[in-house]
Amino acid sequence: ELLRRARRWQRENTDDTERQSQVRALADRVQRLQRIGPWACANPRITQEQFAEHLKRIRNDYCRGGLRDTINRFIPQPAGPRCAHIRVPEALGLHEHAGSIDDAVAELHRRMQDTVTNIVAELAANGGFIFYPNPFYRP
């Protein structure tokens, strides 16, 4: 609502250039703050990937002008080392589900979900994901 009113005021008051620039700067600041959103400060801990997303959004909004900033905006950078946990679900014999495609798909879904659940359980047993204190958290 505030941004809409500010934009309308700018359209209606084109003769006052000094106030125009002030209102534009404030509206831009409000818009940047709204990009962070309530989800940024919802949890006391965040993952490495979430932290990188917050940092990228802040960098895109506030760091402008240099070649390095332009490159950072367009070339994705990993948040840290990656490790792919790939598993294959148990094979599904379609001859067991003759005439019922829906049953075969449901069984395949169950097997795939079991595989993902096992991966998450293995990760949790080995220490789980890396979490950091959320600097944006507000209790």
User: What DSSP letter does each residue of 55-78 carry, written as one string?
Assistant: HHHHHHHH--SSHHHHHHHHS---
- The amino acid present at 69, given as its one-letter code, is D
Q: What's the pLDDT score for residue 111? A: 92
Q: What's the pLDDT score for residue 110? A: 93
Q: What's the pLDDT score for residue 112? A: 92
Whether the CB-CB separation of 87 and 122 falls below 8 Å is answered with: no
Read off φ and ψ for residue 84, nearest 5 degrees: -85, 130
Cβ neighbours for 131, distance < 8 A, ≥ 6 positions apart: 45, 46, 47
State the Cα–Cα distance between residues 127 and 116, nearest whole angstrom: 17
Q: What's the pLDDT score for residue 9? A: 86
Domain range annotation of the chain: 1-36, 45-133
Other beta carbons less than 10 A from residue 87's beta carbon: 11
- Structural element, H or E, at residue 131: strand 131-133
C-alpha 91 chain-centroid distance: 34
State the Cα–Cα distance between residues 57 and 31, nearest whole angstrom: 12
Show pLDDT as tens, one digit a residue, over the chain (139 residues): 888 888 888 888 888 888 888 888 888 888 887 777 677 778 888 887 777 877 788 777 777 788 887 887 777 677 677 788 888 888 888 888 787 889 889 999 999 999 999 998 998 888 777 788 888 787 7
Q: What's the pLDDT score for residue 13? A: 83
